[in-house]
Chain A
Amino acid sequence: MMRNGILLAALFLLLAAAGCQSDGAAFVRASDEGYAATPDAVAPGLFELENKIVAGEARYAALAADRNAIATDESGSLGKAEQAQPGKRLVIYNADLQVRVANLESAKRRFLELAEAAGGYLQQQRDHTLTVRVPATRFDEIVRTVKEFGSVIKENITAKDITREFLDIEIRLDNAIKARDRLATLLDRADKVADLLEIEREMKRLTEEIERLKGQIRYFKDQVAFSTVTVAFNAPSAGVRPVRQRSRFEWVNKIGVDHVLSYF
């Protein structure tokens, strides 16, 4: 009696374990197909609709292959440069400087010439504060050079690593594209008006989501490729102008613009 009870319990445990494993396998496969990865991308009701229409493992595989092909094309249209490369950090650099210079107009002109020579451009100018976008590869050089224009009063340089955020957006975009393509396939096979409307509504939402994500990728790409340098130029005021001390070396006191202008 006792022995039969143990056998029954063992059999029950085996069955339960098999059931769990079966569920787990189904989840893994769904994830591989790209369904489970987008729980918020597709309305839950559509999974039931799909179950009604699509039957058989072979058909699933064919659909997945189609989807991957389409998704690759659409992702590829963003360009290789937009894809995050493994091991390469994506960093957005910004510099905010305040520099006291002898001549404001000359400093502003030279700063613009410097930015343009580096392949950059003026983004904004407000009074004596200029914001330029310069290629990230020239960021250090531009900042170092503009600091030599005069005395640096304030310097704030930030580097924001967006690698993870960028990859996340790429994955979300990929999943959204795959989900939309799958819906397009379902749309061809739907025969009820209610199903058609539901699929179309969801496809519209996904299309908007795809465009939004593409926009984010373009924005990040621009932010990474071009750094932002903002420089506020200040003219020396009477209060901050250095009070000149005579040098202990007499020949040094005979050098300088004032001396040249006075003794000619």
Chain B
Amino acid sequence: MYSPISSYFASALVLVAALTGCTALHMDTPDGFLVIDESRSEIKATSSDSALLWARTFDDDYEGGNLSFWFDTLYNDLIDNRGYVLIEQKEARHGGGANAVEGHELLLETTAKGALQKYLIYLFYDSGTICTVEFVGREEPFEKHVDSVREAVRSLRF
């Protein structure tokens, strides 16, 4: 009954399944940013003028969760609950072709650490994984880097 060939085959299948089912988070960080922390589920990067970029993935622990639900939840929490001021809202996507994933982009303002902070957040959802990309900075560094951050988000994979 036992066959070495079938054993190898089974091991290979397990390996492939593990690799495909647990893709590490990836994003090409923009020029001028230094990656200070990187793991399978997050990437932290900062610019020399203290603009902060943080991409993360979270497991969706709930049955039936989807992009629409999580976006509404996040939107309501940031704007209605925390009082962030919405500047702009639009659709977003990362990847390309058949692998493109649709998401949302919010541009917000709030006050923290005694100063106005501009805040760009992306939300994507794919196969039970929530992915966020946050970009925070005071007005000047934020405006300086925001276009390159938007460009970098297109390279996101999770």
A contact set with B: CB distance below 8 Å: 101-103, 106, 148-151, 236, 241-242, 244-245, 247, 249, 251-252, 254-258, 260-261, 263-264
A245 CA / B80 CA spacing, docked (Å): 10
Are A244 and B139 in contact (CB-based, < 8 A)?
A: no
Q: Which 6 A-B pairs have the closest CB atoms?
A: A251-B58, A103-B116, A102-B85, A242-B83, A260-B136, A102-B109
Known: A149-B85, A244-B82, A252-B74. A102 touches B116 (CB 8 A): yes
B contact set with A: CB distance below 8 Å: 36, 44, 46, 52, 54, 56, 58, 73-74, 77-78, 80-87, 109-113, 116-117, 119, 121, 130, 132, 134, 136, 139
Are B111 and A260 in contact (CB-based, < 8 A)?
A: no
Residues of A within 8 A of B109 (CB): 101-103, 106
Are B132 and A102 in contact (CB-based, < 8 A)?
A: no
Known: A102-B109, A247-B73. A256 touches B82 (CB 8 A): yes
**Majority secondary structure, A binding face:** loop
Known: A249-B73, A261-B112. A102 touches B136 (CB 8 A): no
Known: A255-B132, A264-B52. A103 touches B111 (CB 8 A): yes
A264 CA / B77 CA spacing, docked (Å): 22
Residues of B within 8 A of A256 (CB): 78, 82, 119
- Greatest chain A CB density within 10 A among B54, B56, B77 is at B77
A212 CA / B109 CA spacing, docked (Å): 50
Residues of A within 8 A of B77 (CB): 247, 252, 255
Q: Which chain B residue lies CB-closest to A242?
A: B83
CB distance from A264 to the nearest CB of B (A): 5
Residues of B within 8 A of A261 (CB): 52, 112-113, 117, 136
CB distance from B28 to the nearest CB of A (A): 20
Residues of B within 8 A of A241 (CB): 83
A103 CA / B132 CA spacing, docked (Å): 25
Are B46 and A106 in contact (CB-based, < 8 A)?
A: no
A242 CA / B116 CA spacing, docked (Å): 17
A261 CA / B134 CA spacing, docked (Å): 11
Q: Which chain B residue lies CB-closest to A149?
A: B85
The contact of B112 among A149, A255, A257, by CB within 8 Å, is A257
Q: Which chain A residue lies CB-closest to B69?
A: A249
Are A252 and B82 in contact (CB-based, < 8 A)?
A: no
Residues of B within 8 A of A151 (CB): 83
- Greatest chain B CB density within 10 A among A258, A260, A263 is at A260
Q: Which chain B residue lies CB-closest to A247?
A: B77
Q: Which chain A residue lies CB-closest to B135?
A: A260
A149 CA / B110 CA spacing, docked (Å): 11
Residues of B within 8 A of A258 (CB): 112
List 29 A-B pairs, Cβ < 8 Å.
Answer: A101-B85, A102-B84, A102-B85, A102-B109, A102-B110, A102-B111, A103-B111, A106-B116, A149-B85, A149-B87, A150-B85, A236-B83, A242-B82, A249-B73, A251-B58, A252-B73, A252-B77, A254-B56, A255-B77, A255-B132, A256-B78, A256-B82, A257-B117, A260-B54, A260-B136, A261-B52, A263-B54, A264-B46, A264-B52
The contact of A245 among B81, B119, B121, B130, by CB within 8 Å, is B81
Residues of B within 8 A of A101 (CB): 85, 109
Residues of A within 8 A of B44 (CB): 264
Known: A242-B80, A252-B77. A260 touches B134 (CB 8 A): yes
A150 CA / B81 CA spacing, docked (Å): 13
